[in-house]
Amino acid sequence: MTLSTPSAPAAPPVLTGTGPRREHWFGLPALRTSARSARDTVRERLRAWKLPGDTCCDAVLLVSELTTNAVLHTGSGHLLCGLTLSGDERRLRIELHDEGSTPVRPPEHRAGAGEEGGRGLFIVRQIADSWGSARSTRAEGKVVWAELTAHP
């Protein structure tokens, strides 16, 4: 797992591959109900791209956690979500752009059994091959991204 440093304002790395990549972008209001819309949209798009079930399940969970985090912690009014599949169809990148300016950092401690929240970024860290945050080039804030290997 790699994590971009919060002080690095550079754009997140771009997926590379041998052929043209596929992309899908969609906007969401920054509401708690948007996590469900994000999950449904990602599930539908990845099925259309014929990605394996495990990759789809992991991507749906990742977008749900990233969306929920942005809604609860950034004060954003609008979110932009992007899916990019590398040309060789081996790498899937999920991006969540919000209006927040605070860099996202890895969780410092695990949430306790009695705590309601505090597990989102821990889940992202466990599932994604790599993830991080940077200043957004598409919104007035930041982007949190995660990448997965799309196994055949």
pLDDT at 129 exceeding the cut of 70: yes
Q: Is the pTM of this model over 0.85?
A: no
> What is the phi/psi pair of residue 43, to 5°?
-55, -45
What pLDDT is recorded for position 119?
58
pLDDT at 35 exceeding the cut of 70: yes
Which residues, in sequence order, are CB contacts of 121 under 8 Å at separation 6+?
Answer: 65, 69, 104, 106, 107
The residues spanned by each domain of the chain are 22-106+117-149
What pLDDT is recorded for position 47?
95
What pLDDT is recorded for position 78?
95
Q: Please tell me the distance from the alpha carbon of residue 83 to that of residue 99, in angstroms, as a whole number.
A: 19
Top-level class of domain 22-106+117-149: alpha beta
Q: Please tell me the distance from the alpha carbon of residue 152 to that of residue 105, in angstroms, as a whole number.
A: 31
What pLDDT is recorded for position 63?
97
High-pLDDT (> 90) share of the chain, % = 55
Q: Please tell me the distance from the alpha carbon of residue 48 to that of residue 46, in angstroms, as a whole number.
A: 5
Q: Mean pLDDT across the stretch 46-57? A: 95
pLDDT at 114 exceeding the cut of 70: no
Find out whether 80 and 54 touch, Cβ atoms under 8 Å: no
Q: Please tell me the distance from the alpha carbon of residue 86 to that of residue 15, in angstroms, as a whole number.
A: 6
Q: Please tell me the distance from the alpha carbon of residue 65 to that of residue 84, in angstroms, as a whole number.
A: 18
Q: Mean pLDDT across the stretch 144-148? A: 95
